[in-house]
Amino acid sequence: MATGKICVVVVSGSLERLQMAAMVASVGAVSGQEVLVFLSMNALPHFVKGRTVKVPHEGEMGALMAGKKVPEFKTLFEQAVELGDAKIYPCSMAMDILGVEQQDLESYLTGATGLTKFLDDARDGQVWTF
């Protein structure tokens, strides 16, 4: 696969969108591409340590995934960081709104950043939104 930069903006808290974003990030990272992920809005609460937030599904596929042995989206994001060149950035504004600090988030998330900085870093890559 050709090398390049994949930038993923994740704002949805639905199972299908979180799962697809994680799959794009992990496959891109293990394929040798640089991957930048920006977690904001309804996606970020799923990455707060110890917080159990129900992950709603949008339709039939989400319901089917719940009953199958599909790797959890958080596991795929973590593998993208561990096995490839992926960086997962929590949105600083969303962190402020949620009242969380960096240490409250999953350990594989990189330091917080703002949307302006993320978009600047993403300017020469493919941008995917979920």
The pLDDT, as a whole number, for residue 2 is 54
> What 3-state DSSP class applies to 87?
strand
Architecture of domain 5-129: 3-Layer(aba) Sandwich (3.40)
Domain segments of the chain as ranges: 5-129
The pLDDT, as a whole number, for residue 67 is 77
Q: What does the pLDDT look like over 54-76, one tens digit per residue?
A: 788 888 998 888 778 889 999 99
Handedness of CA 35, 37, 49, 93 (dihedral sign): positive
pLDDT band at 1 (very low <50, low <70, confident <90, very high): very low
The pLDDT, as a whole number, for residue 3 is 60
Q: What's the chain's average pLDDT?
A: 94
Q: What does the pLDDT look like over 80-117, one tens digit per residue?
A: 999 999 999 999 999 999 999 999 999 999 999 999 99
Q: CA-to-CA distance for 6 and 11, rounded, in angstroms?
A: 16
The pLDDT, as a whole number, for residue 72 is 93
Q: CA-to-CA distance for 60 and 52, rounded, in angstroms?
A: 23
The pLDDT, as a whole number, for residue 34 is 97
Question: Which structure tokens are listed for 99?
Answer: 């009242």
